């Protein structure tokens, strides 16, 4: 029997997890910077990342809109400050090095506290995997840069450039690097895409996202948003030497970033991670 909730996805043969946020956050949590002995050792970029929360998409004029398929979505709400970030991460490990496919339905807007569309106040939204095998830590990053400095951009980008890795503390067991900065992003080839933003600040339309990645080759295999399937042959993940204590890591994260001094809100309705094994 077909599960109606799953029928809007196209998973690979094995479902690793299916998270419908009507049942709670399901292990999605805040991204916390590494520290040792003192919280002052957290790198500056990690110190004010806003955590995920549950939301029924309540607006002042329409009431509670709910999620794409139910009542609650995972909401990533930044502070009302340009550049502020909100991140939700799920921490897993893998048992087979093969193809992965992540699918989700999402929508985003600036907070609706002005009576106009304000679409250029929403900065960017993004997704990443954080993976590690026996030799490398690999971090595929993708973001939709909606606007920059008040101007529409509407372009998908990837990030393979990494910043220097920093030792945290004196034991040699903990390191860190802030990988969500605005520096180092590159355009996905033919990556311009206009997403439905609707006409006023409280109208939301849900979008489909699919990202494929192979744990064996550590390369992108597919990338799709709504009706656009992008060529992934020209994009690459961030790669660095393996780090202590992260063996078989299979983390996934979503984030939102404010483009102005207004909160950017990313809602994720549900997430499916599947594999071929």
CATH number at 109 reads 2.60.120
**pLDDT of residue 246 exceeding 90:** yes
Instruction: Give me the mean pLDDT over the 221-239 stretch.
Output: 97
Listed residue (277, 267, 260) closest to 82, CA to CA: 260
User: Which range of residues forms the domain containing residue 80?
Assistant: 18-275
Phi, psi of 184 (to 5 degrees): 90, 5
Listed residue (102, 111, 136) closest to 261, CA to CA: 111
The total of other beta-carbon atoms located within 10 Å of residue 209's CB is 20
Is residue 221 one of the residues assigned to a domain? yes
Is residue 90 one of the residues assigned to a domain? yes
Q: What is the pLDDT of residue 1?
A: 55
pLDDT, tens digit (0-9, with 9 covering 90-100), for 8-32: 999 999 999 999 999 999 999 999 8
Q: What is the pLDDT of residue 191?
A: 97
* Mean pLDDT for the chain overall: 93
Q: What is the pLDDT of residue 44?
A: 82
Answer with the residue of higher pLDDT: 53 or 199: 53
Is residue 37 one of the residues assigned to a domain? yes
The total of other beta-carbon atoms located within 10 Å of residue 216's CB is 10
Of 90-94, 169-173, 176-180, give the lowest mean pLDDT range: 169-173
Q: What is the pLDDT of residue 70?
A: 92
- CB 133 within 8 Å of CB 248: yes
Confidence label for 248 from pLDDT (cuts 50, 70 and 90): very high
pLDDT, tens digit (0-9, with 9 covering 90-100), for 61-118: 888 999 999 999 999 999 999 999 999 999 999 999 999 999 999 999 999 988 888 9
Rounded Cα gap, residues 214 and 140, in angstroms: 11
Lookup result for tokens 């409280």? 202
Q: What is the pLDDT of residue 75?
A: 98
Lookup result for tokens 């990645």? 213
Helix, strand and coil percent figures for the chain, each rounded to 5: 5, 50, 45
Our count of domains for the chain comes to: 1
Say if strands 219-225 and 228-229 run parallel, antiparallel, or are unpaired: antiparallel
Confidence label for 60 from pLDDT (cuts 50, 70 and 90): confident
Rounded Cα gap, residues 104 and 101, in angstroms: 10
Q: What is the pLDDT of residue 152?
A: 96
**pLDDT of residue 2 exceeding 80:** no
**pLDDT of residue 33 exceeding 90:** no
Is residue 13 one of the residues assigned to a domain? no
Q: What is the pTM of this model?
A: 0.94
Query: Who's near 136: CB < 8 A, 6+ residues apart?
Result: 218, 239, 240, 241, 242
Is residue 11 one of the residues assigned to a domain? no
Listed residue (122, 43, 42) closest to 82, CA to CA: 122
Listed residue (177, 176, 182) closest to 259, CA to CA: 182
Confidence label for 38 from pLDDT (cuts 50, 70 and 90): confident
pLDDT, tens digit (0-9, with 9 covering 90-100), for 135-165: 999 999 999 999 999 999 999 999 999 888 8
DSSP state of 217: T
Judged by DSSP in three states, 119 sits in helix
Is residue 6 one of the residues assigned to a domain? no
DSSP state of 164: P
Is residue 2 one of the residues assigned to a domain? no
**pLDDT of residue 242 exceeding 90:** yes
Lookup result for tokens 């049942």? 23
Instruction: Give me the mean pLDDT over the 212-233 stretch.
Output: 98
Is residue 209 one of the residues assigned to a domain? yes
The total of other beta-carbon atoms located within 10 Å of residue 76's CB is 29
């Amino acid at each position: 029997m077909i599960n109606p909730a799953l029928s809007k996805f196209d998973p690979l043969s094995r479902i690793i997890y299916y998270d419908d946020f009507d049942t709670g956050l399901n292990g999605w949590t805040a991204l916390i910077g590494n520290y040792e002995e003192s919280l002052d050792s957290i790198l500056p970029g990690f110190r004010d990342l806003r955590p995920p929360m549950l939301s029924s998409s309540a607006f002042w004029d329409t009431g509670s809109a709910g999620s794409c398929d139910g009542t609650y979505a995972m909401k990533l709400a930044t502070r009302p400050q340009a550049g502020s970030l909100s991140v939700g991460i799920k921490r897993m490990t893998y048992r087979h090095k093969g193809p992965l496919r992540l699918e989700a339905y999402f929508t985003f807007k600036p907070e609706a506290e002005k009576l106009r569309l304000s679409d250029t106040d929403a900065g960017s939204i993004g997704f990443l995997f954080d993976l590690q095998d026996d030799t490398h830590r690999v971090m595929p990053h993708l973001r939709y840069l909606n606007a920059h400095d008040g101007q529409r951009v509407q372009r998908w980008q990837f990030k393979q450039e990494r910043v220097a890795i920093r030792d945290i503390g004196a034991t040699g067991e903990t390191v860190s690097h802030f990988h969500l900065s605005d520096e180092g992003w590159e355009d996905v080839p033919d990556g311009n895409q206009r997403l439905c933003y609707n006409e006023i600040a409280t109208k939301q339309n849900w979008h489909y996202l699919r990202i494929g990645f192979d744990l064996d080759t550590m390369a992108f295999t597919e990338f799709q948003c709504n009706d656009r399937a992008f060529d992934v042959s020209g994009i690459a993940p961030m790669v660095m030497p393996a780090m202590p204590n992260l063996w078989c890591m299979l983390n996934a994260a979503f984030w939102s970033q404010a483009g102005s001094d207004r909160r950017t809100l990313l809602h994720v309705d549900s997430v499916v991670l599947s594999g071929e094994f």
